[in-house]
Amino acid sequence: MEKNKEIARIFEKMADMLEFLGDNPYRINTYRRVAEVLSELGEDVEELLQTGKIRRIHGIGESSVEKILEYLRTGKIVAYEELKKKVPEDLLELLEVPGLGVKTLRLAYDRLKVRSKEDFIRAVKSGQLAFLPGMGEKKIQNILRGLELWEKSKERMTLLEAYELGRSILKHFEDVRELYENIQLAGSLRRRKETVGDIDLLVSAKKESWARLHNHFVNYPGVKEVLLHGETKSSVVTQEGRQVDFRTVEPNQWGSALQYFTGSKEHNVRVRDIARALGLKISEYGVFRVDTGEWVGGRTEEEVYQLIGMDWIPPEIRENAGEIELATAKKLPRLVELKDIKGDFHMHSNWSDGLHSLEEMVQACYELGYQYMVIGDHSQASRVANGLDPNRYREQFKLIHKLREYYEPKGFYILRGCEVDILPDGTLDLPEDLLEEFDFVVASIHSRFNQDNTYRILKAMESPFVNLIGHPTGKAYGTREGYPIDMEKIIKTAKETGTALELNTYRADLSPEQIRRCMEEGVTIAIVTDAHSVKHLPYMELGVGLARRGWAVPELVLNTRDIWGIREFVDKKRNLMLSGGKFA
């Protein structure tokens, strides 16, 4: 699917370039649609060419097909090469900056003689931008803020991006399965850190295969530049500018190498110190006796930890934050695992701002092997997200009712839900009599972040019908800062009212520290994908990783309960709140 991505990227760029040149909007939209179709396409364009089906892709017209064919045959699209001569490509890269559009770039080009990315950044920082028509102080501040965030986000990938890239590289290695014994992504990606600097890939194999493995690695189709092509270590940079490090080790070094390259550095330093006190030396090559230099183990990670008197430690908590002491005392808690997860509580269909139909979302959840799912389309106040009014929710209930007839006999339960907006004064965007009809309610803040957000959330939790607070802090993967809130108060009230707090896989909100506080206080969290397409549903695996980073235990993760446990959770809150009681 690498080719799909490459070609989609070119069409996307051509659309930007045409827009910059003030070309016909119809043509611009056509190119954008081609890019979208190509990235969503389930099949490889190269295969479609071979099977002759390429001319029948829905949504791609004749002249675009010709360009795709041209690229597959020659590796180039002449129309694109021509456009490159007319526009400063480098300047258009700035379109990734939040809050910056073609119009502003074009104005800066015409009036301020801005020709490159650097020119533009200089123009913003020196205040020259203020000379452009329609450029107020507030707009300039926004662009400055956007530039800062963009520069920061360029340095590190979000966990989502790293996960996708990692999966694609693992897939590339399936072609040479006979050459190695073990393969794994290590480093911060394995630890499920919210942002990832570079990807670390580790393989164990017999020495005679190493050269071929390194060749295969540098020939990964997404590579833009090979930084190092060695015998044991290679490094490349991808088209997106991301670095991937690759190492090969002998099969009996697997455990010690995996332990070493998983990190974190702080964890490894402690582990090494403890080993030294026991007369042992741990390196990526194995565990050795210091006095004789004799190799004593390192085939598996379990073996490495066991040799220094510890239980195996889950990668997500290897941060030297108390895990080493507990592993030595053999008292590590059992963390939640993907296999414990029985359902997802927050997702959107094309009734609001999702890409897929309700039917498609339901079928996809069923195929994941879940016991239940909550459909949670936006409520009316979320206009941009095409939120539902009470009548449309009731329409949706009818459809769900019909779907249940098919799915319930199979043991799969569709819960009627919503993601109701918490309004600026803390009231909810839907009437009580409707809220009562839902099986499960998620309530979130989506606008007016300058209000007292702690108060808004506390008030929402007092509703007997609100079961989960969506993305509590409003932050997203280090790219979007949250609104200020008093998390301690929210945790306390969640406990008192029997409301769960959401760990949103799409945003990494809550943070590991906040999850840990929930665990300490006995507050239940729910891991949700907030899927806007069936493609996002499997990110549950990442959500579980993020939860584990916060030391989440199955007892306090709502998704580990079965359908009857969920109904009990909902009923318990309703009964208690309606009778004026409080939770223990």
Is residue 528 near ligand DGT by the rule CB under 6 A? no
Q: Which does 265 bind (CB under 5 to 8 A by kind): Zn ion, Ca ion, ligand DGT, none?
A: ligand DGT
| Residues 6+ away with beta carbon under 8 Å from 314 | 332, 335, 548
Tokens of 56: 């029948």
Q: Is 234 in the site for ligand DGT (CB under 6 A)?
A: no
Q: What residues between 431 and 490 interact with Zn ion by CB under 5 A?
A: 444, 470
| Using rule CB under 6 A, residue 301 touches ligand DGT | no
192 and 548 Cβ atoms separated by less than 8 Å: yes
Kindly state whether residue 166 participates in binding ligand DGT, applying the rule CB under 6 A: no
Q: Which stretch binds Ca ion (CB under 5 A): 120-128, 199-207, 300-308, 400-408?
A: 199-207
To the nearest whole angstrom, how small is the minimum distance from the Cβ of residue 176 to Ca ion?
A: 22
Task: Find the helix or strand (DSSP H, E) in which 117 lies.
Answer: helix 117-125
DSSP per-residue string spanning 14-81: HHHHHHHTT--HHHHHHHHHHHHHHHH-SS-HHHHHHTT-GGG-TT--HHHHHHHHHHHHHS--HHHH
Please identify which residue in 94, 196, 275, 415 interacts with ligand DGT, judged by CB under 6 A. 196
Helix (H) or strand (E) holding 233: strand 233-238
What are 536's two structure tokens? Answer: 């996002």
- Retrieve residue 78's tokens: 């002449």
Which residue in 16, 245, 316, 429 binds Ca ion (CB under 5 A)?
245
Residues β-bridged to residue 413:
372
Q: Which does 261 bind (CB under 5 to 8 A by kind): Zn ion, Ca ion, ligand DGT, none?
A: ligand DGT
| Partner whose footprint covers residue 444, from ligand DGT, Ca ion, Zn ion, none (CB < 5 to 8 Å by kind) | Zn ion
CA–CA dist 458, 202 (Å, integer): 46
The answer to the question of residue 200 lying near Ca ion (CB under 5 A) is: yes
Instruction: Name the one range near Ca ion by CB under 5 A: 27-35, 64-72, 188-196, 354-362.
Output: 188-196
The radius of gyration computed from the CA coordinates of the chain, to the nearest angstrom, equals 26
* Chosen from Zn ion, Ca ion, ligand DGT, none, partner binding at 268 (C-beta under 5 to 8 Å by type): ligand DGT
Nearest residue (CB) to Zn ion, 102 versus 442:
442
For residues 370 and 226, what is the distance between their CA atoms, to the nearest angstrom? 42
Is 154 a binding residue for ligand DGT by CB under 6 A? The answer is no
Which among 64-72, 84-92, 240-248, 310-318 is the span making contact with Ca ion, rule CB under 5 A?
A: 240-248
Give the residue closest to ligand DGT by C-beta: 263
194 belongs to the binding site for Ca ion (CB under 5 A):
no
Q: Which is nearer to ligand DGT, 320 or 451 (CB)?
A: 320
Interaction of residue 269 with ligand DGT, rule CB under 6 A: yes
Q: Which of 77, 11, 78 lies closest to 39 in space, CA to CA?
A: 11
- Show the 3-state SS of 426-466: CCECCCHHHHCCCCEEEEECCCCCCCCHHHHHHHHHCCCCC
Residues that bind ligand DGT (CB under 6 A): 187-188, 193, 196-198, 200, 260-261, 263-265, 268-269
